[in-house]
Amino acid sequence: MEEKKIGADVSSGAQKVEEIERATRSEEKQRAGKSSSAAKKRAASSETANGKKKAAKPAAKSASKRAAAKKPTKPTVSEKKSASRAQKREERETAAAEERLEAAKAKAQKKERKLMKRAELKQKKMEKKAALKEKRLAHKTELAEKKAARKANAEEKKLQLKARRAERKAEKIARRELLKNESKTERRRRLEREKREKLALKRQKQEAAEKAREQKMKAREAARDRRAAKSRHKSEQKTERKKHAPGFGGWLAAVISLGVVCLALTTIVTAGAFRMNDMTVASGNSMRATLYEMVSASQNLDDNLEKLQVSSGREEQRRLLTEVLVDSALLENALERCPVDAATSTDISSFVNRTNAYARRLLAKIADGQTLSQTERNTLSYLYGISSELHAELNDLATHVTEKDLMAFADGKTGAVGDRFGEMGNSVRGEPKETVDAPFSGEGNVGENALFAEEEISQGRAEELVKEYLSAYRVRDVRYTGETVGRDVQCYNFVLTDENGIEIFAQIAKRGGKLAFFDTYEACDQKNFDLQTCDSLAREFLAGLGIANVDAVWLSDAGTVADLTYVAVTDGVRSYPEMIRVRVCETRGRVVGMDASAYLVNRAERSFAPTLSEEEARAMLTGGLEVKASHLALVPVDGAETLAYEFECSVGEKTYVVYIDAESGEEVQVYVVRETARGRFLR
């Protein structure tokens, strides 16, 4: 429709041009006709006049005719002028007609271009509208397809969920039927296996989280190193520029030029100096505030780590560990604002980050319902010692640092403050010394709690039993002091006084009535008995409690008190979960302390069937280890019992205790034996 309209408009313009041309030609013909009629009239008038003359002079007519025949007549001046005017007028009219024709053509072409442009714009608009409509239609189709796909996926998920539910239901039914015929040993093994699987999965998640945190810390340390390197490079460039001083000629020219300029800039430089002084003071104040912030965070960290050493409640431990996380994060944040070198920053940050990561790990363990082991308490003690030194150094620095040294430190210059931070970095360097005084000590309950199957006794019966157990101590008085409700053991607490006035603290298990713990506070200041004699005395004491078939797995002589660790033995297999700790005074030669909680909780009948032989397990050891002794042992690994071979090995003067899984051949634990002035320890 639009193209027809354009064609019609274009043809109408051409017709107008043709009409203008025809009108121009008709006007020219009319002017030409008028010119010819005027000439005829002039000729007629001249002929009339000539006729009159002929009548007067007939004789001269023939002569004039002959003369006229011989030469043409000349036009008059008026005729020439009128002819010239007519010609000029005709030329002007012709030029005007041509101009009008060209103007009409240009106008028609302009109108045609305008119409063509309008038609093109309309065509583009229509194409754009059609494309938008097509796009909307495609989007609508895509949405419909996505909706259909989502609906299909939802239906498929419903079917899968239904199938999984049916499968789980079938598994539960099958499991229920299986458990009906399950023996006690099979049940125990199944529970142990399920617990190991859960712990393995949890350990994988924790390791992944720890790895992510380590990568983040490494990235932060790398960024800190880059900043330190950049700062060091700028300082070196500044020092290098100072070394290359200009020559005398350049110096003289600079003095002459600056002498003129300084007269104009004296006021500006003075004002700038005041502003720079204000900025320097502000920088020093900011650095002092950062230093005070580090002192406050380190003090809180020190206090919370100290409290964790004596805390036994899970809620209190959770609160204290959370505070440790917050304090370590604040200390790390403040440290990042200090312009210390990369090595010092890495040392201090490494200690703070290790403390933060260790607190996270212990929080996860407490959240899982577990208790802190002796190894973990030793590590907290180590972290507390380092934190105390760091806090003391920071507090001393904040108290005695001068403004001059602090502002120099804020400007990145080496000085007294930087040297003190370097000393702090050296003091916190190193890994936590996780030491234990016996293999697998402090692991707690790793299976079913054997005390749950025992009958509960009364307070009066517990008092009678504690007198019987400690009758050799000539008890004069017994006082009941309440109950201890622990996660694994619930006990009646008693304080006994012997004939010499020495107090003995004892705990009787509420279920079963066994002596779970006792400790006495008598002085031991001389070494009158050796370890072998102390071992005999401890075994005799245990036999009086009805505890036999035990092996001494660790003997340590810490001053004048012998620490002896025993585990139950079944068919030649050492059961480390059934552990008893005994302390013997080497001055008086009698037992002054015992902890049998783990033995009472984990006591059970067991049967052992190792997959690997001792020779096959020995082959799994690292080359170069010389085996001195070996035993088959049941050890707690990640809260579950694992049958393993225990190898006491040596390389040169170093001694190791290595445990190899008796089923998979994997290495489950390695200890390094340390001989110290306070006795033997494992790390």
Instruction: Write the CATH number for 677.
Output: 3.10.450.40
- Determine the Cα–Cα distance for residues 440 and 444; give it in Å rounded to an integer: 9
Which segment of 62-71, 189-198, 443-452, 493-502 scores lowest on mean pLDDT? Answer: 62-71
CA diameter of the chain: 203
Please identify which residue in the block is written with the tokens 């031991």: 524
Q: pLDDT: is 149 or 328 the higher one?
A: 149
Which segment of 156-170, 268-282, 306-320, 491-505 scores lowest on mean pLDDT? Answer: 268-282
What is the pLDDT of the chain when averaged over all its residues? 76
- Residue 438 contacts residue 565 (beta carbons within 8 Å): yes
Q: What is the DSSP string of 266-281?
A: HHHHHHHHHHHHHHHH
CA dihedral 462, 464, 468, 474 (to 10 degrees): 110
Candidates 372, 505, 356, 516; CA nearest to 441 is 372
- Determine the Cα–Cα distance for residues 358 and 376; give it in Å rounded to an integer: 9
Residue 538: predicted pLDDT: 93
Q: Please indicate, yes or no, whether residues 280 and 421 belong to a single structural domain of this protein.
A: yes
Q: Please indicate, yes or no, whether residues 592 and 618 belong to a single structural domain of this protein.
A: no
**Residue 194: inside a domain, yes or no?**
no
- Residue 460 contacts residue 468 (beta carbons within 8 Å): no
- Determine the Cα–Cα distance for residues 508 and 494; give it in Å rounded to an integer: 8
- Determine the Cα–Cα distance for residues 564 and 554; give it in Å rounded to an integer: 6
Which segment of 163-172, 288-297, 321-330 scores lowest on mean pLDDT? Answer: 288-297
Mean pLDDT, residues 62-73? 55
Whether the pLDDT of residue 354 is over 50: the answer is yes
- Determine the Cα–Cα distance for residues 433 and 678; give it in Å rounded to an integer: 15
**Residue 459 is which amino acid?**
Q
Q: pLDDT: is 419 or 53 the higher one?
A: 419
Residue 418: predicted pLDDT: 59
Please identify which residue in the block is written with the tokens 């007629």: 44
- Determine the Cα–Cα distance for residues 307 and 312; give it in Å rounded to an integer: 10
Candidates 639, 602, 596, 635; CA nearest to 450 is 602
- Determine the Cα–Cα distance for residues 394 and 607; give it in Å rounded to an integer: 58
Q: Please indicate, yes or no, whether residues 599 and 614 belong to a single structural domain of this protein.
A: no
What are the CA-CA distances from residue 349 to residues 93, 212, 340 (Å)?
A: 103, 17, 11
Quote the percentage of the chain above a pLDDT of 70. 67
Helices marked H in 337-487 — which ranges? 342-367, 374-400, 403-410, 416-427, 459-469
Q: Please indicate, yes or no, whether residues 279 and 387 belong to a single structural domain of this protein.
A: yes
Note down the domain range covering 161. 1-47+82-180
- Residue 6 contacts residue 117 (beta carbons within 8 Å): no
- Determine the Cα–Cα distance for residues 501 and 641; give it in Å rounded to an integer: 43
Residue 645: predicted pLDDT: 94
CB atoms within 10 A of CB 512: 19
Residue 223: predicted pLDDT: 78
Residue 46: predicted pLDDT: 52
Residue 259: predicted pLDDT: 52
- Determine the Cα–Cα distance for residues 350 and 343; give it in Å rounded to an integer: 10
Residues found in the chain: 683
DSSP state of 612: S
Whether the pLDDT of residue 310 is over 60: the answer is yes
**Residue 111: inside a domain, yes or no?**
yes
Residue 410: predicted pLDDT: 59
pLDDT category of residue 574 using cuts at 50, 70 and 90: very high
Give the range with max mean pLDDT: 35-49, 368-382, 490-504.
490-504
- Determine the Cα–Cα distance for residues 114 and 121; give it in Å rounded to an integer: 10
Residue 547, Cβ density class (10 Å: 0-12 exposed, 13-18 middle, ≥19 buried): buried
Mean pLDDT, residues 149-165? 88
For 156, the token pair is 């498929």
Q: Please indicate, yes or no, whether residues 128 and 31 belong to a single structural domain of this protein.
A: yes
**Residue 416: inside a domain, yes or no?**
yes
**Residue 73: inside a domain, yes or no?**
no
584 in helix, strand or coil?
A: strand
Q: Please indicate, yes or no, whether residues 546 and 619 belong to a single structural domain of this protein.
A: no
Residue 531: predicted pLDDT: 87
Residue 506: predicted pLDDT: 92
Domain boundary among 427, 462, 494: 427
- Residue 613 contacts residue 607 (beta carbons within 8 Å): no
- Residue 558 contacts residue 532 (beta carbons within 8 Å): no
Mean pLDDT, residues 302-319? 76
pLDDT category of residue 267 using cuts at 50, 70 and 90: very low
User: Residues 585-595: pLDDT tens digits?
Assistant: 998 888 999 99
Whether the pLDDT of residue 106 is over 60: the answer is yes
Candidates 544, 547, 577; CA nearest to 643 is 577
Bridge partners, residue 579, by sequence? 567
Contacts of 29 (CB under 8 A, 6+ apart): none
Domain boundary among 556, 587, 603: 603
Whether the pLDDT of residue 49 is over 60: the answer is no
Q: Please indicate, yes or no, whether residues 567 and 651 belong to a single structural domain of this protein.
A: no
- Determine the Cα–Cα distance for residues 163 and 593; give it in Å rounded to an integer: 60
Residue 507, Cβ density class (10 Å: 0-12 exposed, 13-18 middle, ≥19 buried): buried
Q: What is the pTM of this model?
A: 0.44
For 534, the token pair is 């102390």
Mean pLDDT, residues 410-431? 57
For 195, the token pair is 């617990």
When divided into structural domains, the chain yields a total of 4
87 in helix, strand or coil?
A: helix
- Residue 430 contacts residue 308 (beta carbons within 8 Å): no
Quote the percentage of the chain above a pLDDT of 90. 18
526: left (phi over 0), alpha (psi -120 to 50) or beta: beta
Q: Please indicate, yes or no, whether residues 626 and 659 belong to a single structural domain of this protein.
A: yes
pLDDT category of residue 540 using cuts at 50, 70 and 90: very high
Query: How many CA within 13 A on the CB side of residue 232?
Result: 10
Which segment of 217-226, 455-464, 520-529 scores lowest on mean pLDDT? Answer: 217-226
Give the range with max mean pLDDT: 160-169, 368-377, 528-537.
528-537
Q: Please indicate, yes or no, whether residues 170 and 253 belong to a single structural domain of this protein.
A: no
Whether the pLDDT of residue 460 is over 90: the answer is yes
- Residue 114 contacts residue 37 (beta carbons within 8 Å): no
Radius of gyration of the CA atoms of the chain, in A: 56
Q: Please indicate, yes or no, whether residues 397 and 460 belong to a single structural domain of this protein.
A: no
Mean pLDDT, residues 393-408? 69
Whether the pLDDT of residue 464 is over 90: the answer is yes
Residue 513: predicted pLDDT: 93
- Residue 324 contacts residue 301 (beta carbons within 8 Å): yes
Q: Please indicate, yes or no, whether residues 312 and 401 belong to a single structural domain of this protein.
A: yes
Residue 514: predicted pLDDT: 94
pLDDT category of residue 347 using cuts at 50, 70 and 90: low
- Residue 280 contacts residue 407 (beta carbons within 8 Å): yes
Whether the pLDDT of residue 57 is over 50: the answer is no
Domain boundary among 581, 603, 625: 603
Q: Please indicate, yes or no, whether residues 577 and 613 belong to a single structural domain of this protein.
A: no
